[in-house]
Amino acid sequence: MPIIVTLDRMLTRRGMTGKELAERVGISETQMSLFRSGKVKGIRFATLERICAELDCKPGDLLDCMAVDEQAA
């Protein structure tokens, strides 16, 4: 069951750029870009906590699961 990163939606709601969030969280723009695109295999809980704190959200607001039948469609 693939995990889908929905961070871009939250950034839009908050009127924030990925670059700005990366600076606030203390990670590189490259790391943020990779996370936003879903090209990373994992993220440290500490980083996820900082992202959620900056965006005033929960991890479930940033991540979603795609069911196997949705993936085939």
Name all domains of the chain by residue range, CATH numbers in brackets: 3-72 (1.10.260.40)
Give SS3 for 4: strand
Residue at token pair 């295999």: 41
Per-residue confidence in pLDDT tens, the chain, 73 aa: 788 999 999 999 999 999 999 999 999 999 999 999 989 889 999 999 999 999 999 999 999 988 766 555 5
How far is the C-alpha of 14 from the C-alpha of 25, rounded, in Å?
15
Tell me what pLDDT residue 46 has: 97
How far is the C-alpha of 66 from the C-alpha of 52, rounded, in Å?
21
